[in-house]
Structure 1
Amino acid sequence: MSNIVIENLNTQPLQEQKLEIVERKGLGHPDYICDSLMDRVSVNLCSEYLKKLGYILHHNTDKGMLVSGKVEGELGGGEIVDPMLLVFGDRATFEADGIEFDIENIVTSTAKEWFSENLRFVDPSQIQYQIELKSGSSELTDIFRRKKKNEVLGANDTSAAVGFAPSTFTEWIVHETEKHLNSSTFKKEYPESGEDVKVMGVRNNNDIHLTVAMPLIDSYIKSEDEYFKRKNEIINEIDEFVSKYAETENNLPSTSISFNTLDEPGKGLNGIYTTVTGTSAEDADCGQVGRGNRVNGIIPLNRPSSAEAAAGKNPVSHVGKIYNALSHRIAYRIYNEIPDVSEAYVWLLSDIGKPIDAPRMATTQISMEAGTLDSVKTEVHEVINSELENIQQFCMELAKGKIPLY
């Protein structure tokens, strides 16, 4: 590919900069629910299209929204008053070559399956489902008919994406703290902890502070005193987890933790963070695709980011999904495989209708620990070209849900 630009990254690597802010929205956060669930719908649609036709048809399920309901919380166990509403929006192919696809059943069964697998205290039958998927426009759906055997599809949008490597320790510990709090091991030890975990990390020089929000399930909490007792136990456990991983760093960072900082003793339910179902979507916060984590699982405020929401987009023509994920893969290959690269950013730009393996521009910005940029240009070209040459395989990994996007 000729239109590859390689240039020096003329800034300090992020890990060496003074200030860094990173966020992760966890499993039960309304935005995470929308991203994860709508992408599962896309994966299941791909499976159905492949099963019945042998190829993937036009669809994008990236306009989902979770509308919060209403509960009456109570120490010892509250109840749901109004259910959550899950709205599925955008496009799908309902019929092709005389074969009809039961889109409504695929969508609702996927949603119920997702809730059953991921949120212990949410009953899928108590959620309302509103399906607003429509057929795609004639020109965009024609992209799928233009494909010749063994050819990649044309891009269905003019869009840009950016990926980077490596992750900083702050990015990594924010990500891993949420994963730990939603692990089966942690939930077994602290079954009263809900899945709606949010972690905000800030690094000031070598001092890292994490602010964690996670509700406690009100059916486990009999009094305000019990809430604060369990809260303190969880704070100590989080601090132990974070401190253990900080010790693995060569330049040992100082770490501190805050947990459920809105709490105020003496106010009863008004001063403690409890939920009936483990998610704030029950009555406090709506969710929407694209407002959650970037494709590498975090919201890194110091990094450039892609404007597209990857979750739910089709994995064979929508570069808003493909290039988002691929740019990170290329950046990590450059960092891991090419000596003396300390940080890499990869930018990919598409032209609507042009083959996805031929972006208009592929730009790499590199910071070197030693040596010169000229000494690695050939290897960078080889990495980019090899990934673009194998983009069909990459797209099938996306189609099968093998590449995490949130």
Structure 2
Amino acid sequence: MDRANFTYVPASARLADEPFEIVERKGYGHPDTLADALGEHLSHIYSAYTREHFGAVLHHQFDKTGILGGRVQVSFGGGQMLAPVRVLLSGRASSSFAGEPIPVREMLTDATRAFFAHRFPMLDPTRDLRLLYEVSQGDSPGGIGTKDASANVRSRWFAPQGLEDLPELTKLACNDTSSGCAFSPPTPTEQLVLDVEDVLAGPVRPAWLGSDIKVMAHRRGARVDLTCAVPQIAAHVPDLRTYVAHREAARAALEQHAAEHYPGLEVRIWLNTRDDEQRPELYLTHTGSSIETGDEGLVGRGNRYGGLISAMRPFTMEGISGKNPVYHTGKVYCVGADLIARSIHDRLGHGAEVLLVGQSGRELTDPWAAVVRVEPSADGRPAPGVDEVAPLVDTALATLPDTVDGILDGAYRMH
């Protein structure tokens, strides 16, 4: 990239050595994480279809997907839905190619029902889901003229007549002026937060364990206070004694993991802090997720790229899930920033934070601005010089056109 647009910041200290950190993660079944996952899933399904049938990923964006919670009755031993979970399918997609219709509505609604059936087998995908379909073909700003084959390419953005109407196939340009960012590696506190769901699920996921696990960590010096909300599925919890036993087993598993894998941290576990066993008021659910009780989820309100909400890190407010994997600036630049940060860590042994800024219409491999902050190494070596870092930036940026397969295969953690 143009060196005039590259800012290199050698840091004097590592984030892991700073006085405090605040790190959050909304788990696999949190409504916001579900919205992100569904938006990305729909993009993968649509992209696979258009690639197979027409040889390219057609223009689409499902980054306004939303989940609106239902109502439930729950008690020890089971529960039932009283009102369905509503799913807002919103966005734009090409609905034809060279005059051939694309079954967008059928494709997306089938994929949505299959998505929920896989994640929530206790739900009936026809009775307990209500789909609000608001996906349009839409238009793209800048298409001046009539909507016919003689008009400019921008007018046919969502109704291409052939591959020649996909300008990104000849010049891969930013679709928007926006930014993406990533970092590598996670600090011990960040990694501990990422570990929680896997630790609780274990080699064989307990039947009682819900998926809407939320984690917040607050580190001051070497002490980490870890607050976790861990839902239990009522069908596998016959009474209060069982609920308490499950909760304490979860606490013990996390304490053991922290002691074994993070000996340099003093970790205190806080679990289901709203529980009141006398009432009782407990985190007991029918589905394992708060989608059953009216909670809402929207793309972009949850975890940032990489799976965390790390308050001490730079991040973009882009809702990247569901966006086009070929050219959407905010999404592709998160991947590019990740590739750069990981390369710096893997090759030079230093932690890094990377921000890439794209300018609408500018070539994607040539960011309008790039900022790279590199930390001292864990063994105390100062940050390397710019001449060591800059070639790694150039190499990673050159590979951006080749990241589409990885995005569609789930190789990069979008949420």
Q: TM-score, normalised by structure 2?
A: 0.89
Shift of 1:401: 3.0
Q: 1:338 to 1:237 in 2, by over 3 A?
A: closer
Shift of 1:277: 1.0
Q: Distance in 1 between matches of 2:120 and 2:200?
A: 13
- Provide Cα deviations, 1:130-183, integer angstroms capped at 9, x if missing partner: 111112324478466565686342211100222222210000010011233345
- Provide Cα deviations, 1:213-239, integer angstroms capped at 9, x if missing partner: 111111222222332232222221222
What one-letter code is carried by the residue in structure 2 that aligns with 1:258? W
Gaps of 5+ in 2: 144-152, 158-163
Q: Distance in 2 between matches of 1:194 and 1:150?
A: 44
Equivalent residue runs for 1:116-155 within 5 Å: 116-125=117-126, 126-139=128-141, 142=153, 147=166, 151-155=170-174
Match of 1:97 in 2: 98
Please, which of 157, 162, 172 is the counterpart of residue 181 of structure 2? 162
Residues 317-326 or 216-225, more deviating: 216-225
Does structure 1 residue 272 correspond to structure 2 residue 282? yes
Q: Distance in 1 between matches of 2:43 and 2:307?
A: 19
Does structure 2 conserve the Cα–Cα contact (< 8 Å) formed by 1:28 and 1:119? no
- Provide Cα deviations, 1:334-384, integer angstroms capped at 9, x if missing partner: 122125x3x3221211111222112112222223446776x6323322212
Does structure 2 conserve the Cα–Cα contact (< 8 Å) formed by 1:164 and 1:346? yes
Does structure 1 residue 383 correspond to structure 2 residue 402? no
Q: TM-score, normalised by structure 1?
A: 0.91
Please, which of 198, 206, 225 is the counterpart of residue 209 of structure 1? 225
Q: Distance in 2 between matches of 1:149 and 1:35?
A: 25
Q: Distance in 2 between matches of 1:355 and 1:146?
A: 18
SS of the residue corresponding to residue 81 of structure 2 reads: strand
Residues 116-125 or 92-101, more deviating: 116-125
- Provide Cα deviations, 1:68-114, integer angstroms capped at 9, x if missing partner: 00011122212110010010111111112112111112112222222
Please, which of 298, 320, 323 is the counterpart of residue 308 of structure 2? 298
Q: Distance in 2 between matches of 1:295 and 1:122?
A: 29
Match of 1:396 in 2: 405
Q: Distance in 1 between matches of 2:6 and 2:301?
A: 31
SS of the residue corresponding to residue 37 of structure 2 reads: helix
- Provide Cα deviations, 1:15-45, integer angstroms capped at 9, x if missing partner: 0011111111111111111111110100111
Match of 1:365 in 2: 373
Q: Distance in 1 between matches of 2:322 and 2:180?
A: 16
Does structure 1 conserve the Cα–Cα contact (< 8 Å) formed by 2:200 and 2:250? no
Does structure 2 conserve the Cα–Cα contact (< 8 Å) formed by 1:350 and 1:360? yes
Does structure 1 residue 226 correspond to structure 2 residue 242? yes
Match of 1:348 in 2: 356
Residues 114-123 or 313-322, more deviating: 114-123
Match of 1:199 in 2: 215
Match of 2:86 in 1: 85
Does structure 2 conserve the Cα–Cα contact (< 8 Å) formed by 1:5 and 1:361? yes
What one-letter code is carried by the residue in structure 1 that aligns with 2:71? K
Does structure 2 conserve the Cα–Cα contact (< 8 Å) formed by 1:147 and 1:153? no
Shift of 1:67: 0.4
Match of 1:31 in 2: 32
Does structure 2 conserve the Cα–Cα contact (< 8 Å) formed by 1:152 and 1:392? no
Q: Distance in 1 between matches of 2:374 and 2:122?
A: 46
SS of the residue corresponding to residue 291 of structure 1 reads: coil
Q: Distance in 2 between matches of 1:61 and 1:380?
A: 35
What one-letter code is carried by the residue in structure 1 that aligns with 2:47? C
Q: Distance in 1 between matches of 2:142 and 2:33?
A: 28
Q: Distance in 2 between matches of 1:73 and 1:371?
A: 56
Q: 1:338 to 1:10 in 2, by over 3 A?
A: closer
Does structure 2 conserve the Cα–Cα contact (< 8 Å) formed by 1:178 and 1:199? no
SS of the residue corresponding to residue 403 of structure 2 reads: helix
Q: Distance in 2 between matches of 1:256 and 1:348?
A: 37
- Provide Cα deviations, 1:35-57, integer angstroms capped at 9, x if missing partner: 11110100111111111110111
Q: 1:392 to 1:283 in 2, by over 3 A?
A: same
Q: Distance in 2 between matches of 1:191 and 1:221?
A: 10
Please report the RMSD computed on the Cα atoms of aligned residues, expressed in angstroms.
Answer: 2.1
Equivalent residue runs for 1:170-185 within 5 Å: 170-182=189-201, 185=203
Shift of 1:324: 1.6
Q: Distance in 2 between matches of 1:77 and 1:229?
A: 18
Q: Distance in 2 between matches of 1:182 and 1:320?
A: 32
Q: Distance in 1 between matches of 2:61 and 2:6?
A: 31
Please, which of 300, 309, 319 is the counterpart of residue 329 of structure 2? 319
Please, which of 261, 268, 271 is the counterpart of residue 256 of structure 1? 268
Q: Distance in 2 between matches of 1:198 and 1:149?
A: 39
Q: Distance in 2 between matches of 1:165 and 1:42?
A: 26
Shift of 1:305: 0.7
Q: 1:23 to 1:240 in 2, by over 3 A?
A: same
Q: 1:136 to 1:334 in 2, by over 3 A?
A: farther
